[in-house]
Amino acid sequence: MFIQNVHHFRDDCLRDGNPPKEHVALFDEAQRAWNLEQTTSFMKRKKNTPDFDQSEPEFLISCLDRHADWAVIVCLVGGGQEINTGEAGICEWIDSLNRKFPDWHVHISPRLTDSEYETGNDLQHLSNRQNVYHDNNFHLAVSMRSFRAENVSLLVKQLLDQDVAEARKTLMNVTDKYPIVITRDLPKAKQWLKAQARGSERYGIVVSSQAERLKPHAIDVRSPVDPIHWFLDGKDDVRSSYYLEDVATEFHVQGLELDWACVTWDADFRYSNKGWEHWSFCGSSWKHIRKEERKTYLKNAYRVLLTRARQGMVIVVPPGDSEDPTRNPLFYDATFDYLEEIGFTIV
């Protein structure tokens, strides 16, 4: 075959230590490549290779490094898209180059320093080596998803980075073409969605997979949605997104789009005077998330949810319930106040 799946390429290289036939590898969503722990576990369970000791990026580079003449790896990277356990981010590609492959030439976008890529000191270590070239042409600045507004992803980044002043400025450039409103009332949000959509434009509710305390609003993230019915079926099918009953999480919608989205915000990712707080609902109460990796996944989950709509969205922050300690209004009020401070219109 002229082109083969990269996973088949991997399996070929596992069986044969010779240089592969291919000289070029194209890795889409490269930030989702597995780290050492996840790759080692997979190789042991699925490929009968118990002593495997490389991350997915390191192994892929090593395969093409077998060539005596030349090879190219193209990594397409989405910032802040790591939401699954074991996704290493772009850092693992950089670390692998620094550890094992000093002779490779590296061409990168200067924008990899932006916060959502979380490259930290890894990028600095890479810049200290020879044959590293920075080129602005490697950054896709125009969003292909939100065709009405190029700056939606930037606005979401600023919102999550708590950059209120810049978020306000960006919002002013977005709202004319891409309406974003906030509310405390889910039924009102549903009405807003239906009023915005025209013809067959698709709308639906998206929530974090950690949004465990939306059950009083008839939203249960543990009830699995069938994404095929949700994304493809019509307005007369109760399983479709149009019915606004079944909801999709970041795992269902990553890489996909709606025309109009309702993002319903729970207390798992809540704002406070200290900034964002990360929580997980366990048993009958909320617990602080301590691991930095899990904090990143949760923040990125909301990044995914807030960038699913092509044409506009409504954000619902429930009012909570003073009689329910798991839905204390204090868990929600600061988040809504923060969004209001940025300047989103209230409906």
- Domain coordinates in residue numbering, the chain: 6-138, 152-346
Lowest mean pLDDT, pick from 106-120, 154-168, 193-207:
106-120
What stretch of H or E contains 231?
A: helix 227-232
- d(Cα 14, Cα 51) in Å, to the nearest integer? 12
Of the ranges 36-40, 169-173, 178-182, 243-247, which one carries the lowest mean pLDDT score?
36-40
Residue 89: the pLDDT is 75
Encode pLDDT of 293-346 as tens digits. Answer: 899 889 999 999 999 999 999 999 999 999 999 999 999 999 999 999 999 999
Q: pTM of whole model > 0.85?
A: no
**Residue 33: pLDDT band with limits 50, 70, 90:** confident
What integer pLDDT is reported at residue 64 of this predicted model? Answer: 96
Residue of 241 and 176 predicted with greater confidence: 241
The residue assigned the tokens 């890479």 is 126
For the ranges 4-13, 84-93, 137-146, 209-218, which has the lowest average pLDDT?
Answer: 137-146
3-state SS, 136-203, equals: HHHCCCCCCCCCCCCCHHHHHHHHHCCCHHHHHHHHHHHCCCCCEEEECCHHHHHHHHHHHCCCCCCE
More confident residue, 140 or 193: 193
pLDDT > 80? residue 82: no
Q: What is the CATH number of domain 152-346?
A: 3.40.50
pLDDT of residue 309: 94
Q: Is the pLDDT of residue 145 over 70?
A: no
Side-by-side strand order, sheet with 258-264: 203-207, 258-264, 309-316, 180-183, 345-346
The mean pLDDT of 280-288, rounded to a whole number, is: 96
| Torsion, CA 34, CA 40, CA 41, CA 44, rounded to 10 | 140
| pLDDT at 165 exceeding the cut of 60 | yes
- pLDDT at 37 exceeding the cut of 60: yes
CA 261 vs CA 193, 196, 307, 346: distances in Å: 7, 10, 9, 16
Does residue 117 carry a pLDDT above 60? no
